[in-house]
Structure 1
């Protein structure tokens, strides 16, 4: 049985269909990539899956066989589904450790304070924000470090599945390479990953399956090399003239 399954999921804002009848499955243990041009509905799709800040208008979202559409975001998170965001989101007035501790205290596993602190520290060490960073205000971190902090906070929640929204945005080439390796190591912990990214080479290096959205609908879905060779995908990214060339 798939860990995550969407069936006919849609979300509209007035007459704009941001997500329109999207269906796919993510198996436990895999890295599943989602691509698409700007405005194709990728982040809206993450929103309706996680209930942050809204759910779908219609369709079914199942996590480990349980229908979660219409659930509040905190309830979905505590079921074991966590996410990061496009922008580097943190509580800047809190320390690095306090940010991670919020994740471990809030997450799926109910644990005493000492265990929550241990989970926060382990997650920070895992992403490369060692003890020398624990007391730093989060607002002092670099863009890459803030992305690592988002990931650590999510990992500290002990999720079964992690949704990553454009983790490579605003990063340098060496930082992108480090991010790829960090995502691989995260998956090796047994965390299933659903990944949005504009950079197709990033997705190709990580994903077992690739879905491409365009104007809210599924344009292509399958093995990554076959998907990026699809003429419709090439046209969506490059335009009709350049695709023909």
Structure 2
């Protein structure tokens, strides 16, 4: 049984079908890539999976065989599903350590304070934020460090599945390379990853399986090299088919 199963999920805003009958499965330990042109429904798909800020109009989402559509964001998170966002989201008025504490306490309520603090510190060390300083305000961090803080806060929750929404956006080439290594190491911790990225080369370097969305629907899915070679995918990204050989 797959760890995450999405079955015929749809979400519409008036006449616009942002997500239209999307289905896929993610196995435990996998890095599953989701690609697509701007406006293809990638982030909306994450929204309906996590219930933040809305769930699907129809369809089912299962985590470890348990249906989670219709549950609150809090319930879904505590069942083991976490996410990051396209923009660097943090509590800017709180310190780096306080942000990580929020994740550690939120993901596993009832933990002893000492364990919460230990989990938060370990997550920050894992993403390389010890040099920044745990007492620094989150709002003072660089874009890259804020993305690392988002990841640390999510890891501190100890999720089974982590959804990453465009982690490479606005980063320099060296920062992107660092992010690739960090995501690989996150998967090695036993966290299953679903990764949205507009940059195909980033996805190709990480994903075992790749799904491409276009206009809210699954355009192609499978082994990454095969998907990227699909003429429909080329047309969706470039607006034209390859010239005949």
Q: TM-score, normalised by structure 2?
A: 0.98
1:178 counterpart residue number: 178
1:132 deviation in Å?
5.1
CA distance 1:131–1:101, change in 2 (3 Å): farther
Question: Partners in 1 of 2:242 and 2:132 — Cα distance?
Answer: 50
Q: Deviations over 1:97-129 (max 9, x none)?
A: 000000000004641111000000000000000
- Where do 5+ consecutive residues of structure 1 fail to align? none
1:27 counterpart residue number: 27
Q: Deviations over 1:67-116 (max 9, x none)?
A: 11111101000000000000000000000000000000000464111100
The answer to whether the 8 A contact 1:93-1:138 is kept is yes
Taking the TM superposition and a 5 Å limit, the aligned residue runs for 1:83-98 are: 83-98=83-98
1:223 deviation in Å?
0.1
Question: Partners in 2 of 1:72 and 1:54 — Cα distance?
Answer: 9
The answer to whether the 8 A contact 1:80-1:108 is kept is no
* CA RMSD between the two structures: 1.0
Question: Partners in 2 of 1:109 and 1:204 — Cα distance?
Answer: 36
CA distance 1:76–1:123, change in 2 (3 Å): same
1:243 counterpart residue number: 242
Question: How many residue pairs get matched?
Answer: 244
CA distance 1:76–1:156, change in 2 (3 Å): same
1:133 deviation in Å?
1.2
CA distance 1:105–1:227, change in 2 (3 Å): same
1:52 counterpart residue number: 52
Question: Partners in 2 of 1:110 and 1:58 — Cα distance?
Answer: 34
- Comparing 132-141 with 177-186, greater Cα deviation is found at 132-141
Question: Partners in 2 of 1:110 and 1:41 — Cα distance?
Answer: 36
CA distance 1:132–1:8, change in 2 (3 Å): closer
- Comparing 124-133 with 7-16, greater Cα deviation is found at 124-133
Question: Partners in 2 of 1:156 and 1:211 — Cα distance?
Answer: 28
Question: Partners in 1 of 2:59 and 2:139 — Cα distance?
Answer: 39
Taking the TM superposition and a 5 Å limit, the aligned residue runs for 1:104-123 are: 104-108=104-108, 110-123=110-123
The answer to whether the 8 A contact 1:80-1:159 is kept is yes
1:228 counterpart residue number: 228
2:157 counterpart residue number: 157
The answer to whether the 8 A contact 1:79-1:108 is kept is no
1:81 counterpart residue number: 81
| In the alignment, structure 1 residue 41 sits paired with structure 2 residue 41 | yes
